[in-house]
Structure 1
């Protein structure tokens, strides 16, 4: 449980097209979107269904996000797996 919480709190950064680091979590916090409804609550490592529209993070294509229960959920765009739940 503690390991999962540590991973959930780790900062996620990606290099933007101009090679400047982008803090994906902070971007998602600063740009909230309407909540998504899911059958089950999201969990780390779970795949996000294709019907869930992911918001883009300006400057990078590595991560996307959606909101669930008022919290941002960060997703690896290559695998659609959840990498952080805040």
Structure 2
């Protein structure tokens, strides 16, 4: 019975923006979550498994959320992670590792375009240079796409950052 209650509570926290931090319920405002999604940072790679309560190492730069100074964020392996600025403890992370619409991915995989050349490796967080033409995705004005090394890459139009790459 305790497992069922724990799983139910975890699902509620993941979908509502509430999180447990040091056994205290923390509400992460929707505005903070929206800001983090709209302003992806360069991704960091951590060898550890990141979950609620994980303490982000000091060597990792935590980005501020302007209207919510109690919270900061990082992108870990392409996932947005919100942390307490006081303790560096993770207070919110999306349970889904894919924060992009499935129909956008389906569209770009069904509509390949010529490959573009970009210096260096392309991964989530890479900024696509301004001289590279982006391709539109119908019904997805937030996103565009390119193909790099024969691989589709979904781009956030406002920042030109890669948000997903095959």
Q: Indicate the structure (1 or 2) with the bigger Cα radius of gyration.
A: 2
User: Match for 1:62 among 55, 58, 70?
Assistant: 70
Q: Which runs of 5+ in 2 are unaligned?
A: 1-6, 18-27, 95-166
TM-score, normalising length: structure 1: 0.79
Q: Deviations over 1:24-71 (max 9, x none)?
A: 111000000111111113110111111110011113310000001211
CA distance in 1, matches of 2:75, 2:13: 18
TM-score, normalising length: structure 2: 0.44
In the comparison of the two structures, how many residue pairs are matched? Answer: 78
1:10 aligns with 2:25: no
The structure with the largest strand share of the pair is 1
Superposed CA RMSD: 1.5
Runs of 4+ in 1 over 4 A off after TM superposition: none
Tell which has more relative contact order, 1 or 2 (C-alpha 8 A, sep 6+): 1
